[in-house]
Structure 1
Amino acid sequence: MDSASSPIPTSGALAAAPGRSWAARLGSLTAAVLLVLTIPVVYLFVDLLVWRGTIPEYTDLPAARQKEFKAEWERSLGARDEIKSSHAKVRPTDAEAKTEDVQHWQWRWQAVTYQMLTERVGPEAADAYLQLPENGGTATPTGQRLGVLSLMARERPHWTISLLGPFARSAGWSWRPDAESGTNTPYLAGLFVILFLLTATQIVLLFAASHWAASAGLAAVVRMRRSIYGHANRLNQVVVRRHTMKEVATLFTAKLETMADGLRASVLHSWRLPTVIVLALLMLVSVNTGVALTFLFLAAVVWFAVGQFAAYFSRDGRIASRRAEARLSQMKESVSILQLVKCYLMEGFNQNRVERQLTDYSRAEWRRLRGESLSRPAVIAAAILAGVGVLYLAGRAVLLGEMSVAGLAAKIFAIGILLWAVSVWVGSRIRIRRAAEAEAEVTEFLQRRADTGQTIDAEFLQPMEKRMELVELSMREPGSGRMLLENVSLAIPAGSRVAIVASDPEESLTLAFLMTRFLDPTGGEVRIDGKNTRWVTHESLRTQVAMVLQQNLIFSDTVANNIGCGDGGYTLPQIIEAGKMAHAHQFVQRLPYGYESLIGDGGLSLRAGEKLRIALARAVLRDPSVLIVEEPELPMDEDSRALLDDAYERIAAGHTQVFLSRRQSVLRRADRVVVLHKGKVAAAGTHEDLLKTNDLYRHLLFKEITVPSAA
């Protein structure tokens, strides 16, 4: 969206497609002009149906128009002299006559009309109105139906005649009657052709504008999605904080869709609707200024009064809704403690509580329902009353001759267009505001700094040969500042098997994230064979330290791509061998297409143990020095546990294994178990020793010890 013309500060969001954006704006703007042009066409159509192309006599004019003509005649001495000298055959008239004789005014009306038609349309049009005698006498109207000339004669003082004159002069079909029927069917057909062309052109322009706007919005959203994905890859907090991952997913999907919707609304409506509103108002004022101003005044009053009324009930309804929800929550609690009620004979006490809660809930809910039941009918009633008032004034103006029936029809049509435009404009402003809010969130995310940068002279990390050392590691949770680890020191020899048991799972996960440098510690350092991981490349570190986490075990793709991650450097035989090592090959072979079967949300559903073995095969394929495995907290079946234990034994040779697990069989096989509590190392030793000597360890494993089947 172009920052110069849009209320959304899009940071150049539409820079990828400025041409399509401007084309959509211009197309929608042109469609707006064409829409408003249908109002005068409707006016001409209704006028033709009412008057049927007949130019009225003076006596047929409304009293207000007769009075207006007389005043005009008295003011225009020069015009009367010109009429007398130029149209002597039209018996009007003594220029200075003051008579009030109706016949004299009839002649004057004919003379003025004849002169106007001659000047603005041509002699042929004037002669079609009056038949002039060759040898003196009085001119007589031909009685022909002359289409638009009827309107020109009746509305001669109005400024619109200056527009109708060129139209009638260039479009003879607009006033020449049909030769056979004598009616103005050519004029009627022409109006329908014009209306059809206006409507068809609008449809084409709006279709093209919608297409260009959608294309520009799609290009912008695709570009923004690339930016979000690329920046998310640079932010390790996205990996380690689950709520941040959800935030990124929301930005990537819902927020960008909201932005796209707002972009389309801005491109299509930011120029079009204000243009429609302004032009429709001008049309209203041009038909009848008094009625138009009355309508605008009533509309403003209704808008303000109803807005205040609706705001009050909306605010009151929100308060009542929160109160009703609170009472519902209390009643839910009162029902859920029935066991306690029966045990302690609290029936009477709890019944009184429920009655009070029901009373409070009923009052609050009634306030909410009252607002809903009154606000909408009040808005509708106010709008109807205002409409009835405007309709009365318009009808009165028609009866008094201040406005024609065609003018009334055009005014109603213009009001309909105006109300539609205002309604859509309000809706588009809401969409644009939501898009601006969404973009602010996206912009804030894109402006976050990467938290674990790589130095320019970073070294390549070789496979671990000696040990990994965690030296006085301290870590605060990113964002909240909560202390997760405090002065944790730990040495993990190469080829060993270590299990980490934590009272807070976030602590053990944080330790794993520090090992792979998804996070940098706030204090201390991680060393591999004496090298600080801050000074090695990310790629080499994560090649040597692989993780299997429960949050992202598999993704929607084939089994082969899930294991190989789309890396063409791994052949299918290598992928199959990794699957065999992780005990995944057997169940993969049973899938409809083997390693080419689709799994994940878009494919086949797998059990928890099967997902874990796929993820384990992915890690095994890369032959890392250190393998970190987070086991699921939910229980697995006996076969899955046995297959996993055997897979761990298979890949133990030449690999250092770190388990985040409380499963008995894993802990028994570990060379060392480290217990974390409140961010510190509370104990360390073998499983058997800790069971004998450490109460905290026994407490953490209580379920596993008492309920072996849950392992």
Structure 2
Amino acid sequence: MTEEALDLRAGRDLILRHLRARWPMLAVAFVAGLSWGLLRLVEPYLVGLAIDHAIVERDLGKLTQYVAIFIAVAAVLAVCAGTRRYWAMRTSYRIETDLRLELYDRVNRLSFDYHDRTATGQLMSRGSADLREIQAFLVNIPINSAYLLMAVGAFVLLVLTSVTLAVLAMAVFPVVTWLSVRFFNRLEPGTKRVQQDLADVASVTEETIAGARLVRAFGREEHEIGRMRAAAERVRKDAMEVVRLRTVYGPLFFLLPGLGQLVVLAYGGWLVLDGQMTLGALVAALQYLGMLAWPVQSLGEMIASGQRAVVSAARVWNVLKEEPTVKERPHARPLPPGNGQIVFDRVTFGYRAGLPVLREFSLEVPAGRSVALVGATGSGKSTVARLLPRFYDVDEGRILLDGADIRTLRLRELRRSIGIVFEDTFLFSDTVRNNIAYGRLDATDEQIVRAAKLAHAHEFIEQLEHGYDTVVGEQGFSLSGGQRQRIAIARAILMEPRVLILDDATSSVDARMEEEIRTALREVMAGRTTLIISHRLSTIALADQVVLVDEGRVAATGTHEELLRSCPRYREVLGQVEAMAS
């Protein structure tokens, strides 16, 4: 798959923006962490005093005092550690939630052309795995900051204890710094590839699960397993490159500080034996060195975690920076009064630049009338239905609803005035009641039942285990295609739209059920502007007027009988439709 361009600086800025937005919560974690770091520096000092003034001098009273002080410090440390951990976790989860909501809001506002070119699995990966990487890094910021303060303090106290020991201990740190920069630069490309590979795995998984019935129907299980095997192998291959880097550099981050400790122990031990340093001061110096060494030893993991978080944030930013191509204009107008007159005025539109689907398409549908759009596959008839609710904006020309250019109207009002029943019916994993009321959440039970009856869905709904409170399976697959279609029709009817669009709305029902739905649709369509896109002659016959769409233009208009008599192309298209149906 194509490698995605990532702006790592934008990813870092995104993380910083959310950290600034939650600075009060972060401040509590930092204060607790810094208090913990400072108190940790007290422990070696107390140990050194206890050795020199209690243990060496065999003074039980002083030893008891030092132990009591040590216990008190440990208790305060425990409180600070718990507070630091709680607020660090709380802040990181809050930011993760903020990012998830911001991402979800953006995805829901983006236009259809973005979703046309973006795999669902890629978006799912950003909303799950990438956000978890960011959270895992954020939770460690206050913790690692406390360790950093502790390391700086330990170095200062080590200098105060013995400048020579401090210089010996720090001799390896220029090498460690060089290794850190080299590790970071080499880790970045591998981390990018792994994150992209994981998103590819999510895409394959989502497609295979969503299309499980199709996969089994065509016996393509082995093919899909092969796709997953290839995607998983890419993850393993790129992840192992990262593992190899960490295997090489990780031990060095442990080895070099260890060598420093060994030198300090040797030289410090000689100073103690020579009487130039007390035993307690040497033990304290070794503990300070340990505090200095631990952040360095964990440096590799901190770099890797930060790198993953920045890459993940950059991937999230690539979605957040997208702007919808269909926007509501400033000072948009409310929907004008009217009964749903539709005018397509010389409309040209294509899903891709230079490849128009509609070419100077002109059509007028009087208010309250029904028009069937008929055409061969790819003629553009379904595109007409997608342009009216502004799922896409036209390239040229304009579309009027009751005299107003739809681009000047409030987008929410426009779409709520149009009821749509698509060929591919989608139901949420929710109750039948809530699926019908999806477009009108304040609908009463009586209104929901009435809509279901008009769609001839009431009878089968009542026979379900819990009636209208029955929870349908994912995408409604626990119901038959015809049942799903009738619930979708009821959902559109309940909105009482000004315009009704039926895009092959009877494609999933048998002839007997189609007759029942047509009877219901006649009542629903009475006095309501309706666009019908259908391959079934019986459904086309519901329309007052038939429009033949050919190569993106209106080729002919008239009643079904008129076009049969006068238009050879219409007869040819109907022949193709009947051949497809048979």
**TM-score by structure 2 length?**
0.70
Q: Which residue of 2 aligns with 1:598?
A: 471
C-alpha displacement of 1:595: 1.8
Q: 1:460 aligns with which of 329, 333, 336?
A: 336
Deviation at 1:35, TM superposition (A): 3.5
Change (3 A) 1:534 1:41: same
Give percent identity, aligned residues only.
Answer: 20
Q: Is the 8 A contact 1:620 1:651 kept in 2?
A: yes
DSSP-derived class of the 1:583 partner: coil
Report what 1:426 is aligned to.
303
**What are the residue-to-residue correspondences of 1:483-502 with 2, within 5 Å?**
483-493=356-366, 494-501=368-375
**Residue 493 of structure 2 aligns to a residue in which SS?**
helix
Partner secondary structure for residue 400 of structure 1: helix
Matching residue of 1:32: 37
Match for residue 204 of structure 1?
A: 82
Matched, 1:444 2:321: yes
Of 406, 422, 443, 2:283 maps to: 406
Q: Is the 8 A contact 1:221 1:260 kept in 2?
A: no
Superimposed CA distance per residue, residues 587-645 of structure 1 (whole angstroms, 9 cap, x where no aligned partner): 22123332233336499843333222112112112333431122389966666656545
Equivalents in 2 of 1:618, 1:20: separation in Å?
Answer: 44
Q: Which of these residues, 394, 410, 427, is aligned with residue 521 of structure 1?
A: 394
Question: Which residue of 1 is the match for residue 219 of structure 2?
Answer: none
Aligned to 1:622: 495
In the alignment, what sits opposite 2:210?
Answer: none
Structure 1 residues 604, 206: CA separation in 2 closer, same or farther (over 3 Å shift)?
Answer: farther
Question: In the alignment, residue 264 of structure 2 is paired with which amino acid?
Answer: A
Aligned mates of 2:266, 2:294 — CA distance in 1: 23
> Per the alignment, do residues 25 and 570 of structure 1 end up closer, same or farther by CA in structure 2, a change over 3 Å counting?
same
Query: Do residues 579 (structure 1) and 452 (structure 2) align?
Result: yes
1:213 is matched with which residue? 91
Hey, what's the Cα distance between the residues in 2 that align with 1:309 and 1:266?
20
Work out whether residues 427 and 435 of structure 2, in 8 Å CA contact, stay in contact via their aligned partners in 1. yes
Report how far residue 54 of structure 1 moved: 2.2
Distance in 2 between residues matched to 1:239 and 1:511, nearest whole Å: 15
Query: Which residues in structure 2 correspond to 1:659-670 (within 5 Å)?
Result: 659-663=532-536, 665-667=538-540
CA contact (8 A) 2:346 2:362 kept: yes
Aligned-partner Cα distance in 2 for 1:451–1:370: 45
Change in CA separation of 1:298 and 1:26 when aligned onto 2, cut-off 3 Å: same
Q: 2:135 aligns with which of 231, 244, 261?
A: 261
Aligned residue for 1:599, secondary structure, equals: coil
**1:260 deviation in Å?**
6.7
**496 and 634 in structure 1: CA distance in 2 versus 1, 3 angstrom threshold:** closer
Q: Which amino acid aligns with 1:217?
A: I
SS of 2:271's partner is coil
In structure 2, C-alpha distance between the alignment counterparts of 1:228 and 1:34, rounded to whole Å: 45
In the TM superposition, what whole-angstrom CA distance separates every residue of 1:431-471 from its partner, at most 9, and x where no partner exists?
A: 653465357446524x668624275555623214xx53322
User: How many residues matched?
Assistant: 521
TM-score computed with the length of structure 1 as normaliser? 0.59
Letter in 2 for 1:429: G
Find out whether 1:631 has 2:504 as its counterpart: yes
> Cα 1:513–1:455, aligned 2, differ >3 Å: closer, same or farther?
farther
Structure 1, residues 51-82: CA drift from partner, whole Å, max 9, x if none? Answer: 96225xxxxxxxxxxxxxxxxxxxxxxxxxxx
Of structures 1 and 2, the one with the larger relative CO (CA 8 A, separation 6+) is 2
Write out per-residue CA displacement over residues 207-255 of structure 1, whole angstroms, 9 at most, x where no aligned residue: 44236525753674587469648xx55x6x2588544795996599449
Alignment equivalent of 2:385, drawn from 503, 509, 512: 512
1:100 matched to which residue of 2? none
* 1:538–1:673 distance in 2 versus 1, CA, 3 Å: same
Query: More displaced, 393-402 or 303-312?
Result: 303-312
Change (3 A) 1:459 1:627: closer
CA distance in 2, matches of 1:257, 1:411: 36
1-side partners of 2:38 and 2:566: how far apart? 83
Structure 2 residue identity aligned to 1:430: Q
Which residue in 2 is equivalent to 1:378? 248
Please say if residues 458 and 537 of structure 1, whose CA atoms lie closer than 8 Å, have aligned partners that are also in contact: yes
Q: Matched residues in 2 for 1:642 and 1:215: separation?
A: 54
Contact 1:471 1:488 in 2 (8 A): yes
Q: Classify the secondary structure of the residue corresponding to 1:451.
A: coil
Larger radius of gyration: 1
What is the CA–CA distance in structure 2 between the aligned matches of 1:42 and 1:690, rounded to whole Å?
105
| Cα distance change on mapping 1:449 and 1:268 into 2, 3 Å | farther
> How far has the Cα of 1:24 moved from its partner?
3.0
Residue 279 of structure 1 pairs with residue 156 of structure 2: no
Task: Read off the aligned partner of 1:25 and give its amino acid letter.
Answer: F
Higher mean alpha-carbon deviation, 215-224 vs 486-495, is at 215-224
Paired position in structure 2 for 1:121: none
The answer as to whether partners of 1:44 and 1:406 remain within 8 angstroms in 2 is no
Query: Does the residue aligned with 2:548 lie in a helix, a strand or coil?
Result: strand
Which whole-Å CA distance do the structure 1 matches of 2:262 and 2:147 have between them? Answer: 28
Aligned-residue RMSD, C-alpha: 4.9
Which residue number in structure 1 is paired with residue 548 of structure 2? Answer: 674
**2-side partners of 1:536 and 1:314: how far apart?**
47
Question: For residues 280 and 688 of structure 1, do their structure 2 counterparts lie closer, same or farther at Cα, with a shift above 3 Å needed?
Answer: farther
Alignment of 1:148-159 (within 5 A): none
Pair 268,188 (structure 1): closer, same or farther in 2 beyond 3 Å: closer
Q: Distance in 2 between matches of 1:540 and 1:316?
A: 48
Equivalent in 436, 454, 469 of residue 343 of structure 2: 469
Match of 1:53 among 52, 55, 58: 55
Letter paired with 2:533? L
Asked whether the 8 Å contact 2:481–2:508 carries over to 1, the reply is no
Once the two structures are superposed, residues 654-709 of structure 1 have per-residue CA deviations (whole angstroms, 9 ceiling, x without a partner) of 334323343565456655253343x44466674867996469837964xx62563x
Q: Is structure 2 residue 195 aligned with structure 1 residue 190?
A: no
| Cα deviation, residue 472, structure 1 | 0.9
How far the C-alpha of 1:546 sits from its partner, in A, is 1.8
Question: Aligned equivalents of 1:580 and 1:218: distance in 2?
Answer: 45
* Aligned 8 A contact 1:43 1:406 in 2: yes
Deviation at 1:40, TM superposition (A): 3.2
Partner Cα distance (1:21, 1:306) in 2: 27
User: 1:389 corresponds to which residue?
Assistant: 259
The Cα offsets for residues 502-531 of structure 1, whole Å up to 9 and x where unpaired, read as: 5438x4443223323444423222235655
Q: Secondary structure at the match of 1:483?
A: coil
Q: Is the 8 A contact 2:348 2:394 kept in 1?
A: yes
CA deviation string 1:448-498 (max 9, x = no partner):
68624275555623214xx533221112448x5753322011233543340
Whether 1:561 and 2:438 are equivalent positions in the alignment is no
Work out which of the residue numbers 19, 24, 28 in structure 1 matches 2:24.
19
Which stretch of structure 1 is more off in the superposition, 217-226 or 34-43?
217-226
Counterparts of 1:389 and 1:543 in 2: how far apart (Å)? 71
Q: Distance in 1 between matches of 2:114 and 2:55?
A: 80
Distance 1:661 1:31, change over 3 A: farther
Query: Do 1:475 and 1:486's aligned partners in 2 also have CA atoms closer than 8 Å?
Result: yes
Hey, what's the Cα distance between the residues in 2 that align with 1:370 and 1:604? 40
Residue 288 and residue 207 in structure 1: after superposition, are their counterparts in 2 closer, same or farther (change >3 A)? Answer: same
Q: In structure 1, what is the equivalent of residue 220 of structure 2? A: none
Is the contact made by 1:496 and 1:657 (CA closer than 8 Å) also made in structure 2? yes
Tell me the secondary structure at the aligned position of residue 55 of structure 2.
coil
Q: What's 1:651 paired with?
A: 524
Distance 1:27 1:417, change over 3 A: same
